[in-house]
Structure formats: C-alpha cells, structure tokens
Amino acid sequence: MNIIEVNQLEKTYKNGFKAVDNINIKIEKGKIYGLLGPNGAGKSTLISILVGLIRKTSGEVFAFNEPISNFNKISQKIGYVPQEIAIYPDLTALENVMFFGALYGIDRKSLKDKAMESLKLVGLLENSKEYPKNFSGGMQRRLNIACALVHSPELIIFDEPTVGIDPHSRNNILESIMYLNKSGATIIYTSHYMEEVEKICDYVYILDKGKVIEQGTILNLYQRYTKILDSPIMVSITEESNLPDEIFKYCRLDIAEGSRVLIFNETSFKKIIEVLYSHSIEVNDIKKSNLNLEEIFLFLTGKTLRD
C-alpha cells in the first residue's frame, strides 16, 4: 500500500520561484525513505506540502488515500519534525510533549504516559522535569522529535534532524528512527548527509533544483553507478610474487599500506584473474573502492551535496 502518492507536483512561490518542479514519488508502508539533496533542492518545500503547511500549485498529492486538501482527516496519522526546532523554552520537557499531545487530541488520562514514552524513546526520560532552554542543541532536537511522536503516528517525516548536533544526539536520533521503523512506522528522512541516508534508508529519492533526478534502493543505485562510474578494483598480492609483463596491459601496480596492489577496472577483471591464476600468484585481498551516494550525486549534477 502506498501511504503517500505524489503526481506531477509543482510549487511556485509568490515571488515566481518554482521550488518543486514536476515531482512524482510513492511512499510504501513500513519503509524508510531518504530525500537527499543539497541546500535549496526543494526538500522542505515538498515536505511542507505533505504535512499540510503550504499549498501545492498543481499536481496531485494523496496521503493515506485522501487528497492532501483533506489534511484534517489524516493529520493524526502523521508526525512531523520540522527543520527549525519548535519547542517552548519555558515549559519543561514533559510539559512540551504533553502540550503537543493535547493538540493531537490525546485524552487526558493517557497523555502523561504517552509523553513519558516519547521522552524515553529519545533518551530524555531523566530530563523530563528540566527546561529546554538549558538543553544542548542536540537535546532540544531530540525533544522536538519526542513532541512529533507523542500521538504514535503511522508516518513520521524528519526534516534534517541531525544538522549541527553532537554525535551522541545524532546516534540517538538515528537509532530512534530505526526503532520506530521496526515498530511499524513509515519514515521519510530528509538529509544532505549521505552517510546517514546510506545507513538507514531502504529507498532514496535524490533531489536537485526541485526535481527528482534519481531514485532507487541503495543497492539499485550502487549497481547502476558502479558500472557507469567504473570504480576500481584493488587486489593485494604477496611481496615475493613475480608479475608477468602482460598483466600491465590490464592494470597498474601501486603500493598501499606497505603491500603491493594491482588496480584495474571491472572490464579487466576476467583477464587479471586469468593471468594471476596461470602464474600461480597468491592473492591476499580483493577490494572494490567504495562507491557512495556523494559520488553518484557528483556524477549526476557536477557538484557536491554540501556546496
């Protein structure tokens, strides 16, 4: 089942700037989706439409089979963690989460328990009576997440939740997201940190200048671009082995961390193996250089994600 379906979506702001340009996406139940793109790609604009904050200019958006114009029918099912932290500094952590819970219509009886559950998930249970104005940026961010989870939403949308925070909070957030997903929630995760997207996402949409420029599972993308980008294969061989001249038709020799390494492209793989085998050259290790989403992005756009 598709929880979200977006067809030919466009958003032009009042000043005439088109921030979302013919976007089509599908979000299936139970998966973690990454929206990856540089500053200004249109990620927050797209998300703001999905959570009913701004109106689309044209196209179709369905969430839980309802047109997004009926957002009040589905708002209970969606949790939204905005890019800018939105919490009340003069309410305690617990009061903040309870406040959001009350907005979502959680009944008074279970409100405190639900709020405590949310705080526990983000690792702030012990800080429940403290005021967020004394929190670190990472703790404030985690509290913001707790506020978005209190009503146990089926779909949770995170807009760059790990920007500019300490590694402890960052790990806590990534682990919480994976936990929520294992417990059944569908996740949309926006980021320009490709390592995070690679670590937690099942499926990635790469955005640039308001368009989806590539999409697939991480494995799909690697398979597709390993061929195109031709990332090299490296074979370490023993110190004493004599290499026949013919092997240098297919590879170059390098020294890496004190050992001899043959470096070549996938197209030469078969030949290299044949030569190594026929000369009984012992192989210590085979590696393929790491292709990552950053390289794919660079290839597609000619710029880095953090330009």
Ligand X SMILES: Nc1ncnc2c1ncn2[C@@H]1O[C@H](COP(=O)(O)OP(=O)(O)OP(=O)(O)O)[C@@H](O)[C@H]1O
By CB under 6 A, is residue 44 in contact with ligand X? yes
| Identity of residue 50 | L
Nearer to ligand X, 44 or 75 (CB): 44
By CB under 5 A, is residue 128 in contact with Mg ion? no
- We find the least distance from the C-beta atom of residue 48 to Mg ion, in angstroms, to be 9
Element (H, E) at 138: helix 137-149
β partners of residue 5? 26, 62
**Contacts with ligand X: how many residues (CB under 6 A)?**
14
By CB under 6 A, is residue 50 in contact with ligand X? no
By CB under 6 A, is residue 45 in contact with ligand X? yes
Give start and end residues of each alpha helix (H) in 51-122: 71-74, 93-103, 108-121
- We find the least distance from the C-beta atom of residue 191 to Mg ion, in angstroms, to be 10
Q: What are the C-alpha distances in Å from 30 to residues 71, 82, 192, 303? A: 21, 21, 22, 32
Please say whether the beta carbons of 49 and 11 come within 8 A: yes
- We find the least distance from the C-beta atom of residue 252 to ligand X, in angstroms, to be 40
Angle at which helices 137-149 and 93-103 cross, to 10°: 30
Q: Give, as ranges, the residues between 71 and 110 that touch Mg ion (CB under 5 A).
A: 83
By CB under 5 A, is residue 162 in contact with Mg ion? no
Among 44, 169, 292, 301, binds Mg ion (CB under 5 A): 44
Q: Give, as ranges, the residues between 65 and 104 that touch ligand X (CB under 6 A).
A: 83
**Where does residue 131 rank: exposed (0-12), middle (13-18), buried (19+ CB within 10 A)?**
middle
Among 4, 6, 41, 276, binds ligand X (CB under 6 A): 41
Q: Give, as ranges, the residues between 14 and 43 that touch Mg ion (CB under 5 A).
A: 43
Write the interaction track for ligand X spanning residues 148-187; mark x where CB under 6 A is met and - where it is not: ----------------------------------------
- Provide the token pair at 268: 């030469």
| Identity of residue 158 | F
Nearest to 24 by CA among 11, 5, 38, 43: 5
Q: How far apart are CA 122 and CA 108, in angstroms?
A: 22
Nearer to ligand X, 45 or 176 (CB): 45
Residues that bind ligand X (CB under 6 A): 13, 15, 17, 19, 37, 39-45, 83, 192
